[in-house]
Amino acid sequence: MNPECNVTDQQRFHSRADMDRAGNRCNNPYIRKREQKLAANILSKLPPAGKTVLEIGCGEGTNLLYLNALNDSLSYTGIDFSKEKIDAFQGFPENIRGIVADAMKLPFADEEFDFVFLRDVLHHIDWARPQVMNEAWRVLKRGKTLLVFEANPFSPLNVIFWNLYPVERGMKNSSRKEMFELLYKYGPCSIEYLEPGYLVRAVSFIFWKSGSENIFARYLLLPVSNIIEKLMCLMPKSFWPCRLYTIKKD
């Protein structure tokens, strides 16, 4: 593994809270529909009687807000190295807490959580994938579930993405083969393919700002993007941009 974007580059890029992006993810109606569907998928994998959820690399906490909107009876914890991102948790419901922590040295006891997940984290920490996964596994209770969302480096959209943004180039080390080599040592691992494309997300993110939207985007770009995404469903799923890996701790 030879990451092109090192730890200093990643920390510099991700240390600042991106409230525009977080607000867009929560309030943009086009993105919100997809995030709600994703949150429902996550919660469907919560083991029976599970009450405690941990997200590693939680950013500004938008994933946890979506989960809580569907099930506010759970206790949600998010950790991130960025204090500025965790500060964004102010005003969140009491059952959602954010902690500034190192994912390689989680400040939790062994087998503390019923459910642990990482979303789009591993390709940003190429130098520490094994250590972070070991910690995620350590704090997960036996009989419970670990989810890892990771980008597909062979998706046409992701190829464009990591060529434009150096901090995303760790995706190149997230092939199905490499991910299975990393994850299978913990146990049998299933794979699920999510969303055939990100065009609607990308277009709506660019043109939807602070409660207003571009008419051109609404009546032309977004409908066209929707059609293209439906056509992308015909592609082999091996080219879809996001994969979800699920492992149960026996």
How do residues 159-208 score in pLDDT, each as one tens digit? 988 888 888 899 999 999 999 999 999 999 999 999 888 888 888 888 87
Kindly indicate the confidence band of residue 209, based on its pLDDT and cuts at 50, 70 and 90: low
- Does the pLDDT at position 1 exceed 80? no
Residues of the chain with CATH 3.40.50.150: 7-196+239-248
Report the pLDDT averaged over residues 51-75: 98
The answer to whether residues 96 and 69 touch, using CB atoms and an 8 Å cutoff, is no
Give the predicted TM-score (pTM) of the model: 0.91
Residues 6 or more apart whose Cβ sits within 8 Å of residue 55: 63, 64, 76, 77, 78, 79, 116, 117, 118, 119
Write down the mean pLDDT value for the chain. Answer: 91
- Does the pLDDT at position 102 exceed 90? yes
Q: What's the pLDDT at 5?
A: 61
Give the DSSP letter of residue 47.
P
- The count of residues in the chain is 250
For domain 7-196+239-248, the question of CATH label 3.40.50.150 is answered with: yes
Give the DSSP letter of residue 71.
-
Q: Is the dihedral of CA 51, 52, 57, 58 positive or negative?
A: positive
Kindly indicate the confidence band of residue 85, based on its pLDDT and cuts at 50, 70 and 90: very high
Q: What's the pLDDT at 2?
A: 45
Residues 6 or more apart whose Cβ sits within 8 Å of residue 144: 47, 50, 113, 114, 115, 116, 248, 249
